[in-house]
Structure 1
Amino acid sequence: MQHATTPTTTPALADLTTLRVGGPAARYVETTTEAELIDVVRAADDAGEPLLVVGGGSNLLVADAGFEGVVVRDVRTGIDVPDHSACAGVTYTVPAGTPWDEVVEHAVTHRLVGLEALSGIPGSTGATPVQNVGAYGQEVSETIATVRVWDRGRGKVRTLPLVDLRFGYRTSLLKRSMRPTAADPEDPRAPWGPTPRYVVLDVTFQLRQGTLAQAVRYPELARTLGVAVGERAPILDVRAAVLELRGRKGMVLDAADHDTWSAGSFFTNPILDTAAAAALPPDAPRFPAGDGATKTSAAWLIEHAGFGRGHTGPGAAALSDKHTLALTNRGGATADELVALAREIRDGVRTAFGVELEPEPVLVGVSL
């Protein structure tokens, strides 16, 4: 059974992404129900039509030529709270299209703990498990119970529990389905892209009640709150402090501030083996990353490779004036200009330190 979808004019992808670059889509659809979303995705896959599911557009860099396929935007919103048990915590089930910070704000104002350090992150709720978004010592995987998805490979709705989601640093089962290493002889369409094999329908969170936030793990946040790392602070204070810190770094969307015309952190923090970590300069940041690996700071590497805040690339592409991890559109930048700047920084860090930076946004029609 086919369901009607919302008729819309076809926008440029620049109008749907926080980097504000990208040409037109061949076809654009907004879906207002889960059934509509599944129908559009299934029809595109059956026809062999390229598919791009867009949420808040905060993690996309789309080519100037646009996208030769169907762009689908899930506009469902809301928060369902089926479980109010004080013992088990409180369950939130959230449609994928719901703006993420609305979920965080709702949880914090209702004194529910576990999402407060993720305040101010742009984008939709459906994108959060794909990237396992994290900030200030907190990751969304810590509160996720299940993710309901449309499995494009099997052509069915599935509920993926936490153990099957294979969360890691800025990754998940969903994101891994887009990687070249995801090639599977039993799945001729793998690797999937630019949309994962698993299209998120809704996310269920398990949150506990309390007036104090989780123990503060991030030194910068602890200093802002005036507490020691490992101590707890009122949950409302933590949200306010995180929003303040993100605002200072241009990481809270503001149409009048070109520092926020970005995809947030453009490169992930590198995870290094023992030899690569030992080759870093003595003063480079080092953090345990499990299994003998070491995480270092992409921002530190960029700055010490000679790329300071405000570093300009071609045209209107530049590093943020507030944070070296953000590549920004200073007004009228093209995707090609942003890619050229990203390559310059990646190559400069590789030359200086022998470390290969990996982009965090999904690259659509472009490559580094």
Structure 2
Amino acid sequence: MDTTSVGLDVFFVLLGAILVFAMHGGFAFLEVGTVRHKNQVNALVKIMVDFAFSTIAYFFIGYWVAYGVTFFMSAADLSGADAAFPLQGFALVKFFFLATFAAAVPAIISGGIAERAKFWPQVLAASIIVGLIYPFFEGIVWNGNFGIQDWFANTFGAPVHDFAGSLVVHAVGGWLALAAVLHLGARTGRYGPQGRPYPPSSIPWLALGTWLLCVGWFGFNVMSAQSVAGATGLVAINSLMAMVGGIVVATIVGRRDPGFIHNGALAGLVAVCAGSDVMHPIGALLTGGAAGGIFVYCFTLTQEKFKIDDVLGVWPLHGLCGVWGGVAAGVFGLEALGGMGGVSFFSQLLGTAMAAGYAFIAGFALYWLTKRVLGIRLTDAEQRRGADLSIHSIGANPEGEF
């Protein structure tokens, strides 16, 4: 029975890892549909290469930073011969699952810095993020490192609650992206006397990216339980309600703009991650709806008033909606509002501020150093030519371009 139970958990977490891995295709196509045609190849390549380097960084360094676990032993020991590792390689599929989360952070950043980032410097920055910056905070929230969660529990009655990563993944990724975008500056021709907004190159590709992300998100959220016994339909229904809430509000507030609508779904899903296991479905609907409004309003404010050229709007989508999700878990997770309880509003508020502040400061330092040492921005001429030809020497439709 023990072997069967472990085997079910291995399969459960493996399926979750595959679903989240598929989300990286969603990140890729969302970016492909949003950037100009001359940058589509670069968008596809960045997501795949970042995933590979991120996995290596997380395998050798990041997972140890977060959880104190290394893989420098025999395959037999890793599969359960060593008492420190569960049977049937459960620790290995858990690593796979969490690695797909870790690699989502560079995928988030990729959308913000699109069309003007040098290739190898951004790959190096992504590796440092997944090897050191991300797992440091991941270990604090999800592994109780340094006793910080104990302090929250003793001070406010509950630790910071982040079931599936509104803070650990999305807020951290979004605020790191803001730092990167500020260092990179706007794309050539985006602002100024002759500046203009660049419309998406392909709404169908953008929509495909959103659908892939939405489908995979149910693995992202539901399978964050990391065991069959811990899985609950509450997470699934809350994810669904938050997603549709984001769509509805983004449709109304965004005046039926397809970009806002498709990103509204993602905004709702980002926000519900933290409290998806403790909210009532109505609370999840309200959380997702508010996130849809936050994205539409803050995307416009960022692009037009602040003139921050965040191409896919990843700071509003992941950074701000992730922050909202962290706080919302401390509101709609309360028993008084129909939630499961076990959360503290003040823990959520302070923990959310900690996530955003840590990520922005670490990201600002990292991209400042990368900028000074290697340079991170394509030249104006390279940007006009497009990242596809400037970096990869091939366009999205080679046969039709020559």
TM-score normalised over the length of structure 1 = 0.26
Higher helix share: 2
Higher strand share: 1
- Greater RCO structure (CA 8 Å; 6+ sep): 2
